[in-house]
Amino acid sequence: MKQYLTFTEEVRHALENNLPVVALETTIISHGMPYPQNIEMAKEVEQIIRDNGAVPATIGIMNGKIKIGLSDSELEEFATNKSVEKVSRRDFPYILASGKIGATTVAATMIAAELAGIHMFATGGIGGVHREGEITWDVSADLTELAQTNVAVVCAGAKSILDIGRTLEYLETHGVPVVGYRTAEFPSFFARESGFGVDFRLDTPEEVGTLMDTKWKLGLNGGMIIANPVPEADALDHQKIEAVILQALKEAKDNNIAGKKVTPFLLDKVKQLTEGKSLQTNIALVKHNAEVAAKIAVAYQQAANQAN
C-alpha cells in the first residue's frame, strides 16, 4: 500500500521524527459545507492543530495517490471541484485505479491514517445507524472501520440525524470504547446532550493518551471514540434540533433520497431550517475537536515514546 501514499514535507518530517500528527478528512470540505466556509474552516482547523503542538494531515485522493497532507491549492480543489467523489472503504480501489479525485469519509480517513502511521483523527461527527436502520439496514461504514482500524476519533458524537442509541449498541457489540471527554453524556453533534451515556469519562489529554497507548499495546485492535461536546456557547437546543431533524427526515423519505446522498441532504436541509445556525455550530465543533485532538495527540506521542 505504501506505493499509493504521498506526504507533504511537513507531515513526512513529523512522522519520521515521532512527532504528534492529527489526521483530517476531506468529505467535510467537499460535501459537508458550502464554499467559501469550507476552505476557511479547513485552513483554520489546520492552524489550530499547529497552535496546539501537533501537525495536521488533511487526507484526500488525487491522481491515483492517497495524499497525507494537502497543499493550499489542493485544499482549494477539494473545496470547489463539484466532481469530487465521496470515498469510503468500498470506493478506495475504484477511485485510486480510475485516477479520480476523492474526498475521504471518516472510514476512509481512518484507513489512510493507519496506513501512514497516524493514530489520531479529528472530525465533526461520526456516521452510524440511520433512523429506521432496522428496516433499511442503512449503517455507516464508519462503524465497521472503528471496529478494526487502530485510530482514535475525536468527534462531537454521532450526527444528530442518526439513531444514536442503536449506534452506541453497535459500537459496544464490536468492542469500541466510547470515551466522554469531560462529559458523562454522549453528545449529539449540534447539541451537548443525547440522553445516552458514555463508557468512560476522562478529563485530561494525558488520561486519553495513556488509554490509547494501553489499548493497542494489549493488541486490542480497533479504534476509539473520544466524544467531545460542542462548546456551550455554540450548541443548539436538543429538543428544537430534534424537531428540525424529524422534518428533514420526512422530506428525505418523501423524495426517495437514499444511500450516500442521505447525509448531505439532511445536513443541508437542517441548515436551511435553522437559518444557518447549524452551519455555525458545525464549524465551531470541528474547531473544538481539532484543538482537543491535537492536545491528545501530543499526550499519546509522549506515552508511546516513553514506553519505547
Helix ranges restricted to H, 126-273? 133-136, 141-146, 164-173, 205-217, 238-254, 262-273
Beta strands 152-155 and 85-87 are: unpaired
Counting the structural domains of the chain, the total is: 1
- Give CA–CA dist 97/95, Å, rounded: 6
- Give CA–CA dist 163/129, Å, rounded: 6
pLDDT of residue 176: 98
What mean pLDDT, rounded, does the chain reach?
94
Check pLDDT > 70 for residue 206: yes
Count of CB atoms within 10 A of residue 92's CB?
20
- Give CA–CA dist 93/84, Å, rounded: 15
Q: What is the pLDDT of residues 242-273, one digit of tens each?
A: 999 899 889 988 998 877 788 788 888 888 99
Three cell numbers at 291? 484543538
Beta strands 55-62 and 65-68 are: antiparallel
pLDDT of residue 308: 62
- Give CA–CA dist 89/164, Å, rounded: 22
Check whether 188 is labelled as a binding-site residue: no
For 183-214, letters b (16+ CB in 10 Å) and e give bebbbbbbbbbbebebbeebeebbbbbbbbbe
Check pLDDT > 70 for residue 1: no
pLDDT of residue 186: 98
Place of cell 469550507: 38
DSSP state of 275: T
Q: Which of 67, 77, 159, 271 is catalytic?
A: 159
pLDDT of residue 262: 81
Count of CB atoms within 10 A of residue 135's CB?
8
* 280 pLDDT tier (thresholds 50, 70, 90): very high
Check whether 237 is labelled as a binding-site residue: no
Q: Which of 25, 46, 77, 114 is catalytic?
A: 25
pLDDT of residue 133: 83
Check whether 199 is labelled as a binding-site residue: no
Q: What is the pLDDT of residues 183-194, one digit of tens each?
A: 999 999 999 999
Check pLDDT > 70 for residue 155: yes
Q: What global pTM score does this model have?
A: 0.94
Q: What is the pLDDT of residues 285-302, one digit of tens each?
A: 999 999 999 999 999 999
Give how far Cα 116 sits from Cα of 21, 68, 135, 194, 243, Å.
10, 7, 37, 34, 41
Whether 159 is catalytic is yes
Whether 275 is catalytic is no
* 91 pLDDT tier (thresholds 50, 70, 90): very high
Check pLDDT > 70 for residue 39: yes
Check whether 163 is labelled as a binding-site residue: no
Can you give the residue range of the structural domain that contains 39? Answer: 2-304
CATH number for the domain that contains residue 155: 3.40.1790.10
